[in-house]
Amino acid sequence: MQIIDSIQAMKSLVREVRSKGQTIGFVPTMGYLHQGHLTLMRTAKEKCNFVVASIFVNPLQFGVGEDFEEYPRDLGRDSKLAEEAGVDVIFAPTVKEMYPKGYSTFVEEERITDKLCGESRPGHFKGVTTVVTKLFNIVQPDLAFFGQKDAQQSLVLKKMVKDLNMNLEIQVLPTVREEDGLAMSSRNSYLNSSERQSALLLSKSLNMAQNLIEAGERRVAEIKKAIHKLITQDTLARIDYVEILSLPDLEEVEFLEGSSLIAMAVFIGNTRLIDNLVVEV
């Protein structure tokens, strides 16, 4: 497996792969890989001839005071895991390679980025859509793979691909969880052991919501109230948001109908975790 840090070298390799008629699968990541990422990579390898994974902690999608500096990085460990998962090339550019001095062009989705994580993290999705556009142009994949854990991200990127007529398809794979239900995330590494226990509140409250809905509850306010109640019992937990919105347009609803997203961001200590559940009624 190759590790490439230059855009030009990555583009040359892509040209070579394409000229052989091979399909390209792409898994963009910020590294510190977990089973969620590795599942995306294995699936990419099943569906495409050639798999590129990018590892790039994108400063543009971090706000002031967020964890850009502390975000865990371990390229040695990541390359070993990626290779085992079937990745053919890791693209790991520097910040300067991606955003040279004078960089000034941005891509922005303006309709579904002002809620949920977009509301809590202004500019976050502008950073995501910009870097992903660049990566798509560099890697030129047929398929790009994302995890359902970042539900809003997938919706925003699908909208971007459709609106800008990009030549690829986005595939979203289910959230991969630890045995006890915690959604896998590189940020879980920030948690100490008591926080790790409290972090279960996210998946537990989603399970509870699902049970309520299966028992017939359709009132969004009641479901949100029950989730709030469960999470706020724990003094380590502080809710950033709990929302239930329609899919795929992320509009507010009073009663569940059709396809909806229950999404939450919760600080456990200083660590902000997200989780979500798609419900169909």
Q: Is 101 in the site for a second copy (CB under 8 A)?
A: no
Q: Does 129 bind a second copy (CB under 8 A)?
A: yes
Task: Mark whether 124 is an active-site residue.
Answer: no
Q: Does position 260 bind a second copy by CB under 8 A? A: no
175 is an interface residue for a second copy by CB under 8 A: no
Cβ at position 111, least distance to a second copy in Å: 4
Distances (CA, A) of 167 to 131, 134, 143, 199: 16, 13, 9, 38
* Site membership for a second copy, residue 65 (CB under 8 A): no
**In this chain, which of 6, 12, 137, 211 binds a second copy, going by CB under 8 A?**
137
Task: Tell me whether residue 21 or residue 76 sits nearer to a second copy (CB atom).
Answer: 21
Choose between 16 and 249: whose C-beta lies nearer to a second copy.
249
Shorter beta-carbon distance to a second copy: residue 165 or 193? 165
CA proximity to 178, closest of 170, 169, 188: 188
Q: How far is CA 6 from CA 43, 104, 168, 203, in A?
A: 26, 20, 22, 39
Considering only 107, 173, 200, 247, the residue that binds a second copy (CB under 8 A) is 107
Question: What number of residues does the chain have?
Answer: 281
Q: Which of residues 11-30 bind a second copy (CB under 8 A)?
A: 11
Least distance CB 7 / a second copy (angstroms): 6
Binding a second copy by CB under 8 A: which of 20, 76, 104, 235? 104
Residue written as token pair 């915690």: 182
Of 53 and 184, CB closest to a second copy: 53
Residue 264 near residue 191 (C-beta atoms within 8 A):
no
CA dihedral 22, 75, 71, 52 (to 10 degrees): 0
How far is CA 144 from each of CA 45, 58, 162, 167, 270, rounded to the nearest angstrom? Answer: 11, 18, 14, 11, 31
The Cα 261–Cα 252 span in angstroms is 10
The stretch among 66-74, 160-168, 182-190, 215-223 that binds a second copy (CB under 8 A) is: 160-168
**Which position among 34, 37, 124, 228 bears the catalytic label?**
37
Angle, alpha carbons 178-206-160 (nearest 5°): 85
Which residues of the shown chain bind a second copy in the complex (CB under 8 A)? Answer: 7, 11, 102-112, 129-130, 133-134, 137-138, 140, 159-160, 163-167, 249
Catalytic residues: 37
